Structure 1
Amino acid sequence: MQNIIDFVLEIDKLKQVTRKTRVLNSDRYENSAEHSWQIALLAASLQPYATEPVDIDRVIVMLLVHDIGEIETGDTIVYAEGGWEERKAQELACVTRIFSLLPEGQGGHFLALWKEFEAGESADARFANAADRAMPVLLNLANSGQSWRENGIRHKQVITRVAPPIQDGCPALWAYLEGRLLDAKQKGWLA
Structure 2
Amino acid sequence: MNNRILKDIEFIVEIDKMKSILRQTKIIGENRREDDAEHSWHIAVMAMILCEYANDKIDIGKVIKMVLIHDLVEIYAGDTFCYDKEGNLGKRDREIAAADKIYGMLQDDKRKELRALWDEFEEMNTPESLFAASMDRLQPMLNNYHSDGGTWKKYKVTRSQVYNRIAPVKKSSDQIWDYIKFMIEDAYAKGLLEK
* Fold match (TM-score > 0.5): yes
Name the structure 1 match of 2:42: 38
Letter in 1 for 2:61: D
Name the structure 1 match of 2:155: 151
Per-residue displacement from partner, 1:57-102 (whole Å, max 9, x unpaired)?
A: 1100100111111111211122233564621121111121111111
Name the structure 2 match of 1:86: 90
Name the structure 1 match of 2:57: 53
Letter in 1 for 2:180: L
Q: Within 2, Cα distance between the matches of 1:25 and 1:84?
A: 28
Q: Within 2, Cα distance between the matches of 1:64 and 1:97?
A: 17
Q: Aligned pair 1:178/2:181, yes or no? A: yes
Please, which moves more after superposition, 84-93 or 11-20? 84-93
Letter in 2 for 1:177: I
Name the structure 2 match of 1:98: 102
Root mean square deviation of aligned Cα: 1.3
Per-residue displacement from partner, 1:121-166 (whole Å, max 9, x unpaired)?
A: 011101111111111111111111111111111111111221x201
Name the structure 2 match of 1:108: 112
SS in 2 for 1:188: coil
Name the structure 2 match of 1:129: 133
User: What residue ranges of structure 1 are gaps of 5+ in the alignment?
Assistant: none
Name the structure 2 match of 1:189: 192
Q: Is the 8 A contact 2:82 2:88 kept in 1?
A: no
Q: Is the 8 A contact 1:22 1:28 kept in 2?
A: yes
Q: Within 1, Cα distance between the matches of 2:142 and 2:72?
A: 22
**Could you state the TM-score of these two structures normalised by the residue count of structure 2?**
0.93
Count how many residue pairs are aligned between Structure 1 and Structure 2. 190
Letter in 1 for 2:53: Y
Q: Is the 8 A contact 1:79 1:158 kept in 2?
A: no
SS in 1 for 2:90: helix
Q: Aligned pair 1:167/2:170, yes or no? A: yes
Per-residue displacement from partner, 1:3-33 (whole Å, max 9, x unpaired)?
A: 1111011111111111111112211100111
Q: Aligned pair 1:4/2:17, yes or no? A: no
SS in 1 for 2:81: coil
State the identity %.
35
Q: Is the 8 A contact 1:130 1:168 kept in 2?
A: no
